[in-house]
Amino acid sequence: MLATCLYGQKAIAPAELTREQLEQELDAYRRALLDWASLTRYGSDNAELKPPRPGENRVVFLGDEITEQWPRAFFEGKPYINRGILRQTSAQMLVRFRQDVIDLHPKVVVIEAGSNDVASVMGPATEYQITDNLASMIELAKAHRIKVVIAAVPPVCDCAGQIQTLRRVPGKIIGLNGTLEQMAQEVGVVFADFYKPLAQGRLMNRDLTVDGLLPNQAGYAKLGPVVERAIQEALADH
């Protein structure tokens, strides 16, 4: 019953989940009840952030735990701001888009979303709902003259004792990424492929991940050049 309630779709036997995973699930739902979109997470940091300097190409990274856990060294010395939050879905990011993106006055926003939607972390979500949320974020960004980079959903694997593919079904991730790439082309934003550099076949390369979901240092080293190229492409698009 617990597993069914947590996942909102196919029931997963508790034996297939670690104690840590279950505790993370429960903690996420407790936090969602108190502050569904986690508007308080970066509220103080945003208030203390100074406006961009003249000529500064500020970039905000909006995303889930994949963005949140990006090594700090990548951001050091750059006008990049990390606004990733563990276990967030595209719907939650849309709610905090004004606070955590628009009000920070970036030139570019990198939106990394969809993995937790596919996993039904906050309830079932269709591909249409995911792209609808992203479309709304893109419209808000364009209205405020913010360039947009849409990132592909990275692959997953059942690695390091963690089962990831039951919730984040590889076929669904591949299908969603195809839709995201087409969407980016149609609305005139940049697509950053976070999938191919980390993939081995249809799954995450085991050498590039901590737990089958999050990249490790080597994985993030693969993503760094991809996102840098995408940012430069967005900035060059006048």
CATH code of 59's domain: 3.40.50.1110
Give the model's pLDDT for residue 30.
Answer: 74
Per the prediction, the chain carries an average pLDDT of 91
Q: CB count, 10 Å around CB of 77?
A: 7
Give the model's pLDDT for residue 17.
Answer: 61
What is the SS3 assignment for 146? coil
What own/partner pairs with CB < 8 Å and gap ≥ 24 does 20-29 have? Answer: 21/162, 24/87, 28/86, 28/87, 28/121
Give the model's pLDDT for residue 4.
Answer: 39
Count of domains observed in the chain: 1
pLDDT tens sequence across 109-147: 999 999 999 999 998 999 999 999 999 999 999 999 999
Judged against a pLDDT cut of 60, whether residue 6 lies above it is answered with no
Report the b/e string of 122-136 with b at 16+ CB within 10 A. Answer: beebebeebbebbee
Angle, alpha carbons 204-206-207 (nearest 5°): 120
State which residues form the domain around 180: 2-236
CA 22 – CA 20 distance, rounded (Å): 5
What is the SS3 assignment for 161? coil
pTM, entire model? 0.89
Give the model's pLDDT for residue 54.
Answer: 95
CA 208 – CA 214 distance, rounded (Å): 9
